[in-house]
Amino acid sequence: GAVVSQHPSRVICKSGTSVKIECRSLDFQATTMFWYRQFPKQSLMLMATSNEGSKATYEQGVEKDKFLINHASLTLSTLTVTSAHPEDSSFYICSARDWVLGYTFGSGTRLTVV
């Protein structure tokens, strides 16, 4: 079946630094990738939708200059949290979609900003 690899699974960083999270579709080409944020015991909050080779579409209230998304190829999307602060600590999940398989999720990244 379709597999999406997300790295790192956990990261701890200092306030003010930037963190990059990678999301790769391993055995299919993802036409669209989605980035979510999930707070403890809550549902997923869509942050942005990205299509390969074009700018990401951000959801209302999500700072595009803080959460940089790059979708340079059909198999790779990255989310960079810039100038991270403790309030950015969260669980981030990517999802890749192709026209046949539907939506496949990465295993998530637990970001802790100290």
Name the site residues for other proteins (rule: CB under 8 A): 4, 6, 32, 34, 41-44, 46, 49, 51, 57, 91, 93, 95, 97, 102-108, 110
The nearest distance, CB 56 to other proteins, in angstroms, is 11
Q: Judged by CB, which is closer to other proteins: 7, or 83?
A: 7
Residues 15 and 83: their CA atoms lie apart, in Å, by 7
The nearest distance, CB 108 to other proteins, in angstroms, is 5
Residues 31 and 71: their CA atoms lie apart, in Å, by 10
Q: Judged by CB, which is closer to other proteins: 46, or 76?
A: 46
The nearest distance, CB 104 to other proteins, in angstroms, is 7
Omega before residue 86 within 30° of 0, cis: no
**Structure token digits, residue 95:** 């999802």
Q: Judged by CB, which is closer to other proteins: 10, or 16?
A: 10
The nearest distance, CB 101 to other proteins, in angstroms, is 9
Cα 7 to chain centroid distance, Å, stands at 10
C-alpha dihedral sign at 85, 88, 93, 99: negative
